[in-house]
Amino acid sequence: MPHSPVLRHHRAVAAGGALALAALVPAVPAHAASYGTPTISFSADYLSGAVGASGDPVVTVTVAQSGADADALGVAASASSKSSVAAPGDVTVTGTGATRQLRVTAHARGYTDLTVKVTGLGGKSATRKLHYAASAAVQNAADTHYLTGSSDASAAVDAGGGYAVVADDESNTLRLYDRNASGAPVRTWDVAKKLGVSKEVDIEGATRIGNTIYWTGSLGNNKDGEYKADRNTVFTTTVTGSGASTQLTVGGSYKKLRDDLVAWDKSNGDRYGFAKGTKSGQVPKQIDGFNIEGLEFAPGSTTTAYLGFRAPLVPPKEGAKALIVPVTNFDKVAGSGAKAVIGSPIELDLGGLSIRDIRKNSADQYLIVAGSWAADDNSDPYAVYSWDGVAGHAPVKRLDLPTADPGGWEAVVDVPDLTVPGARAQLITDAGSADLYGDGTEAKDLDHAEWKKSRATWFTLNG
């Protein structure tokens, strides 16, 4: 039966209303239901910063969401377990696409877990926790970077292109760092297997001649006064490439230099007490102990190397002189295991301090990092001296180094032209015994390598 005009009118009105209603409701893309849950990952789940730092390490954040362009995803901190250390507003995320860079501005020393949220399309999101630790503000913060991954930096050598190879006296791993940025090493080399050692060499000194880096252990007993054979090691690495592309290959080694030094001193009337300083039970970091921390070649020489002693002082009393013992065939000692030939010792007046590092440039201008012979904290005095490397010539104090901040000054990377006004050198601390985050834990004992760090600071050496 045909519909009446009235019924047809009502149906038309209803249809029109439905069309009008449909026009008011946003169109839903056919693929909306296919948006997946976003994903978020970090280049590291642990991050260290410092109050007042100008170039703290960053974390790379990688985000994605199926069905969505990564540019459409938002990334921001949404919560902090301890806002006094760093609040969500102290987290900055930069970049676009799938990879972003996350930075944290610290306000106080301590730890906090930061919740980082990625917000995707379709109302979906995901979170991940970043475990953050902040150390206290330090002096010279504007000229400071932090080398993370270890805390016991003990020797450093320039690798060119703004990079340095840094040793750690608590491990047998050499690390390549960008000297002008805070963060983790770009490359590492564990030299233990090649050297045939199972315990730490206690690397304390290094220097470079051409493409060969020479390294020395402390040669002393451990902190308990026990002889550990692996510490009686000197060795070489061969360098290929430079800068971020630097590669190292272990070369020769020698494991009796300590024995040679003790025998030489005995034959010269026990002048420096090396036999006593190395006997069982003798702690190395005593005024009459035995501990080497500096290594550099003599002026104009590629064969005679200076061994700089942290202990003993000469004579072993407060205010005495620092000791250098030359090894005239050090290239062959470390390179091919030759028995050491010892030259005439040199005694330097460093104001009662001993040698923590020694480095020269191609013009035979030397810098000496001087510090206490003691197993000291960071309150003892430190200073930088310049010298010409000639026995009988007095070193000249360039500056007193800041103390009271975590870590003791241990290494100078290279030596600028000291005749140029405003010449600057970069020094690195050993912070292994420091309580960086205020919880009573020494840095060397922290559970996460990302929280371990040494401080690298530039200093102006003259006006």
Which domain does 99 fall in, by range? 36-135
241-247 long-range Cβ contacts below 8 angstroms, 24+ apart: 242/159, 242/160, 242/161, 242/163, 243/159, 243/160, 243/161, 243/162, 243/163, 244/161, 244/163, 244/176, 244/178, 244/186, 244/187, 246/159, 246/160, 246/163, 246/165, 246/176, 246/187, 247/187
CATH number at residue 275: 2.120.10
Please tell me whether residues 242 and 163 are part of one structural domain. Answer: yes
Same domain, 80 and 155: no
pLDDT tens, 150-192? 999 999 999 999 999 999 999 999 999 999 999 999 999 999 9
| pLDDT score of 3 | 47
Does 248 fall in a domain? Answer: yes
**170 and 128 in one domain?**
no
For 316-348, how does the pLDDT look when each residue is reduced to its tens digit (9 = 90+)? 999 999 999 999 999 999 999 999 999 999 999
CATH of the domain at 74: 2.60.40.1080
Tell me how far CA of residue 94 lies from CA of 59, 62, 76, 103, 118, in angstroms: 11, 12, 10, 8, 13
Shared-domain flag, residues 98 and 66: yes
61-94: per-residue pLDDT in tens? 999 999 999 999 999 999 999 999 999 999 999 9
Of 74, 103, 135, the one marking the end of a domain is: 135
* Same domain as 104, residue 237: no
pLDDT in tens, 212-241: 999 999 999 999 999 999 999 999 999 999
Sign of the alpha-carbon dihedral angle for 226, 292, 289, 259: positive
Among 76, 109, 135, residue at a domain's last position? 135
Is residue 463 very low, low, confident or very high in pLDDT (cuts 50, 70, 90)? low
112 and 164 belong to one structural domain: no
What predicted TM-score, i.e. pTM, was given to this entire model? Answer: 0.91
For residue 15, being part of any structural domain is answered with no
Dihedral Cα 246, 250, 255, 260, nearest 10 deg? -60
Asked if residue 172 belongs to a domain, the reply is yes
Do 388 and 413 lie in one domain? The reply is yes
1 falls within a domain: no
Whether residue 196 is contained in a domain is answered as yes
Are both 184 and 254 inside the same structural domain? yes
Is 236 in the same domain as 164? yes
Q: Among 111, 135, 159, identify where a domain stops.
A: 135
| Position 79 in a domain | yes
* pLDDT given for residue 25 in this prediction: 38
Is 415 within a domain? yes
Do 407 and 447 fall within a single domain? yes
Q: In this structure, are 399 and 289 located in the same domain?
A: yes
Strand partners, 430: 152, 408
Q: Is residue 311 situated within a structural domain? A: yes
Count the domains in the chain. Answer: 2
What pLDDT is stored for residue 10 in this prediction?
Answer: 41
Q: Residues 293, 425: one domain?
A: yes
